[in-house]
């Protein structure tokens, strides 16, 4: 059962006035009260100008209702046409926003943008689905038409509980829980700098055909996807070496933080797959607030109380390793593959810092290269292999890649009854 509403057409092209605001507010409040998801379809020209300032307060009440429902019941908004002006902010409050190819959304329209900036854009160039799919991250999924959008909404809801007091539904599966992940060995190269598609790894780990990726084209250097392990819904966060070498930047940190927080709201266990060389460096990133936005991911993981499992696939360096739900962040269980490298940085960079002066003093290029290779091998043996991390308690198990699915299923079973009390406080001050 779900609570549905529709804003579309009519005399004022779906504009929201006091009557519409009251109906929508009531529908959302009733959904939260009875513990059922909210699904809304929107094609709106914004606040109804014929009703004056009352229309502004009307959509404001709808926004307040969505905020009150946040974390209580899943909220899904489907945009099938315009969604502009203040009511466009409703999309940012929803858990899931599905946009069709002919939809568009923005706060300030093309005329206003032209008057203020001199830049001439049409509706699609300013706020079309491709913009919100790739750049802004507003669109969770983009689909061709309304029928497909409705189907997508129902598919998403199949992974979720009806409300925050329930666990996600568990489905029967023909995919054996102890199935070997035989394909992984061929997917992941042993060379740390070689590229691969981490989605292929995820597909080999989760139940057959259960991966449902969200915001796939926004911040593609990090994958956020729903999936199932032996019929149980899990949320998977994974670095994507195929894009920007799997580094973390502002957009990836925000994307992952919102996903982690959302999964925690609805009792969805988290599985984090780590293969990252670190945070992406750059003046622009630092000036735009890499510190603050990176802290959003720290905050989301640190506050999550659902079962949290982590697997280091290949490399886990520096601060990015820590924020990808490391043992220091409080995960429940952490494993690493035998070829994993867990360290402050990779061996070449570390050797240059530790032994750069010694190496520069060697005149013979061949002798210098040989000495550097020896020093890198020594560094990997002493500092960066997973067994050192396991000895110090930062890794619970070193596992074979082909055993990943079986061990994750068994571990999730062990932690399925986890209950964690949160601190008594009004709320934390997240870095947002």
The per-residue DSSP string of 311-332 comes to: EEEEEEEHHHHHHTT-GGGT-S
Whole-prediction pTM value?
Answer: 0.93
Determine the pLDDT at residue 319. 94
Query: Tokens 């995960």 label which residue?
Result: 331
pLDDT of 253 strictly over 80: yes
Determine the pLDDT at residue 251. 98
- Per-residue pLDDT reduced to its tens digit, 200-239: 999 999 999 999 999 999 999 999 999 999 999 999 999 9
Residue 121 to residue 126: CA distance in whole angstroms: 6
Determine the pLDDT at residue 185. 79
Count of other CB atoms within 10 angstroms of residue 400: 14
Is the Cβ–Cβ distance between 177 and 413 less than 8 Å?
A: no
Residue 193 to residue 188: CA distance in whole angstroms: 11
Q: What token pair was written down for 255?
A: 């994307």
365-379 vs 347-360: helix axis angle to the nearest 10? 140
- The average confidence (pLDDT) of the chain is 92
Mean pLDDT to the nearest integer, 318-331? 95
How sure is the predictor about 418, in pLDDT bands with cuts at 50, 70 and 90? Answer: confident
Instruction: Check residues 354 and 243 and name the one with the higher pLDDT.
Output: 243
The radius of gyration of the chain's CA atoms, rounded to the nearest angstrom, is 24
Residue 3 to residue 31: CA distance in whole angstroms: 6
The dihedral built from the CA positions of residue 378, 383, 384 and 389, taken in this order, carries a sign that is: positive
Determine the pLDDT at residue 12. 55
| Coil, helix or strand at residue 308 | strand
Determine the pLDDT at residue 192. 83
pLDDT of 294 strictly over 90: yes
Most confident of 111-120, 208-217, 420-429: 208-217
Residue closest to 12 by CA, chosen among 41, 52, 50, 38: 50
Domains of the chain: 3-157 (3.90.226.10), 184-340+385-415 (3.90.226.10)
């Amino acid at each position: 059962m779900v609570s549905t509403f529709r804003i579309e057409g009519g005399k004022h092209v779906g504009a929201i006035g006091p009557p519409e605001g009251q109906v929508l507010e009531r529908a959302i409040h009733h959904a939260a009260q009875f513990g059922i998801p909210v699904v809304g379809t929107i094609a709106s020209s914004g606040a109804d100008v014929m009703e004056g300032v009352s229309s502004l307060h009307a959509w404001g009440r709808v926004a307040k209702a969505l905020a009150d429902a946040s974390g209580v019941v899943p909220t899904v908004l489907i945009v099938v046409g315009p969604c502009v002006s203040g009511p466009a902010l409703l999309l940012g409050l929803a858990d899931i926003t599905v946009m069709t190819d002919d939809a568009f959304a923005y706060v300030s329209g093309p005329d206003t943008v032209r008057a203020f900036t001199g830049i001439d854009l049409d509706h699609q160039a300013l706020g079309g689905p491709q913009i919100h799919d790739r750049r802004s991250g507003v669109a969770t999924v983009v689909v061709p038409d309304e029928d497909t959008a409705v189907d997508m909404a129902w598919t998403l809801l199949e992974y979720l509980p009806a409300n925050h007091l329930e666990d996600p539904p568990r489905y029967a599966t023909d995919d054996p829980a102890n199935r070997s992940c035989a394909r992984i060995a061929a997917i992941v190269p042993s060379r740390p700098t070689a590229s691969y598609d981490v989605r292929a790894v995820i597909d080999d780990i989760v139940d057959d055909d259960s991966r449902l990726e969200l915001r796939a084209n926004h911040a593609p250097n990090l994958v956020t996807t729903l999936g199932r392990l032996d019929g149980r819904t899990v949320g998977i966060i994974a670095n994507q070496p195929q894009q920007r070498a799997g580094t973390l930047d502002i957009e990836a940190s925000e994307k992952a933080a919102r996903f982690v927080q959302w999964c925690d709201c609805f009792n969805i266990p988290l599985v984090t797959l780590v293969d990252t060389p670190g945070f992406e460096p750059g003046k622009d990133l630092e000036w735009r607030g890499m510190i603050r936005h990176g802290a959003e991911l720290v905050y989301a993981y640190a506050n999550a109380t659902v079962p949290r499992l982590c697997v280091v696939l290949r490399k886990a360096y520096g601060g990015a390793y820590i924020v990808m739900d490391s043992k220091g962040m409080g995960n429940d269980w952490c494993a690493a593959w035998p070829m994993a490298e867990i360290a402050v940085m990779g061996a070449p960079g570390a050797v240059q810092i530790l032994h750069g002066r010694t190496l520069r003093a060697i005149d013979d290029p061949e002798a210098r290269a040989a000495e550097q290779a020896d020093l890198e091998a020594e560094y990997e043996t002493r500092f960066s292999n997973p067994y050192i991390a396991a000895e110090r308690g930062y890794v619970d198990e070193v596992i074979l890649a082909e055993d990943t699915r079986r061990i994750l299923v068994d571990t999730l079973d062990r932690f399925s009854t986890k209950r964690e009390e949160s601190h008594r406080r009004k709320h934390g001050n997240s870095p947002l």
